[in-house]
Amino acid sequence: MLKTKVSYVVVSEEDDGQRVDNFLINKMKGMPRTRVYRLLRKGEVRVNKKRAEPSYRLQAGDSVRLPPVHLPEKGVQAAPSRQTESLLADRILFEDEHLLIINKPSGMSVHAGSTVRVGVIEALKHMYPKLPNLELAHRLDSETSGCLVLAKKKRILRELHTLLREGKMTKVYWALTKGHWKRSELHVDLPLHKDYRDGGKHVVEVNRAGKESQTIFKVIKEFEDASLVEARLLTGRTHQIRVHAAHQQHPIAGDDRYGDAEFNKLARQRGLKRMFLHARSIDFTLPSLNQRITVEAPLDIELERGLAGFGSD
């Protein structure tokens, strides 16, 4: 491990508009994300001599204080297996000179961490060595499959972040949930608070002190004891769909963190071996190119089997 010294970085025009947490993750390569967020919470990272929230967007000319930390010695970046490369190559939904959109597989983290050797972004950077600025535009939970957008250029990344921040990117998810929904339950407007527990793990809860969070659910198909629903995010909070669905007493099948143990057991008996949450489609327009992008990710075979297990009618 290498011990760094206190340093100060002036934000360039290239990084203008970037969230400070993403900026730090890029500057402190190899450091677990949980540690980065801990540094921010404790105020060890300062922007213009003041504490900064993870969501703070840097401006060109900002001075960022980087505290002394232990970082792993630089070595050869862990390479993805050929199987992983082949899997991701087969799941590309859209690609041009500006964007890459994949159907992220369930069970694969979007980035490496203390317990993950290679994530989606590390694998794709290895597959695209001539694209040094390839970056995630947003994230998906490890267990969630579906549309994941990456930008090939920093200018496009900033544009995507602006669309997300202004609610101009439509993301639609499909989820298999417990029971049948009432019309009054479909629009969920409940604030969410992220609570960090020992070890850096976080749990998201409905809490008045949390951030505004809205999800619109729509029933696609009803089964005897479950419903396939569409979920549209009006805000983009961590675990938002999972927590909102569980709070409405309609937890997602296979959700081990917020779900219902008996319903999860029933889902496994009917052939569902993973959480049924899938980023079904994404729709947005890049203003600088006047280009509309609409992409849909097909359901994985595991999810098709799960639906079949609950009955096709």
87 CB neighbour count, 10 Å cutoff: 15
With 80 as the cut, is the pLDDT of residue 2 above it? no
**pLDDT per residue over 126-164, tens digit each?**
999 999 889 999 989 999 999 999 999 988 998 998 898
| Residue 73: predicted pLDDT | 56
**pLDDT mean across residues, the chain:** 89
Q: Which residues of 131-149 are buried (b: 16+ CB within 10 A; e: fewer)?
A: beebbbbbbbbbbbbbbbb
Q: Which listed residue (15, 62, 141, 255) is catalytic? A: 141
Mean pLDDT of the 229-234 span? 95
What percent of the chain stands above pLDDT 90? Answer: 60
Q: Which residue has the tokens 């369930």?
A: 106
**DSSP assignment letter at 181:** -
**CATH number of the 82-163 domain:** 3.30.2350.10
Cα angle vertex 150, ends 87, 47, to 5°?
Answer: 135
Q: Which residue has the tokens 């071996």?
A: 273
Least confident of 26-35, 65-74, 195-204: 195-204
**pLDDT per residue over 265-280, tens digit each?**
999 999 999 999 999 9
Q: If we measure between CA atoms, which residue out of 282, 294, 256, 209 comes closest to residue 106?
A: 256
Tell me the CATH class for 2-70: alpha beta
CA–CA gap between residue 181 and residue 222 (Å, rounded):
9
How would residue 112 be classed by pLDDT, with cut points 50, 70 and 90?
confident
How would residue 71 be classed by pLDDT, with cut points 50, 70 and 90?
low
**CATH number of the 166-310 domain:** 3.30.2350.10
Cβ atoms 181, 169 nearer than 8 A: no
3-state secondary structure of 265: helix
Residues of the chain with CATH 3.30.2350.10: 82-163, 166-310
3-state secondary structure of 169: coil
User: Which long-range contacts link 189-198 to residues 24+ away (Cβ below 8 Å)?
Assistant: 189/213, 189/214, 190/244, 190/247, 192/237, 192/238, 192/239, 192/240, 192/243, 192/244, 194/237, 194/238, 196/37, 196/38, 196/41
Residues of the chain with CATH 3.10.290.10: 2-70
**pLDDT per residue over 174-183, tens digit each?**
999 999 999 9
Mean pLDDT of the 46-71 span? 86
**pLDDT per residue over 298-311, tens digit each?**
999 999 999 999 98
Mean pLDDT of the 232-257 span? 94
Mean pLDDT of the 202-231 span? 93
Q: Which helix (H) or strand (E) holds 233?
A: strand 226-233
| Residue 17: predicted pLDDT | 77
Q: Which residue has the tokens 């600025």?
A: 133
Q: Is 141 a catalytic residue?
A: yes
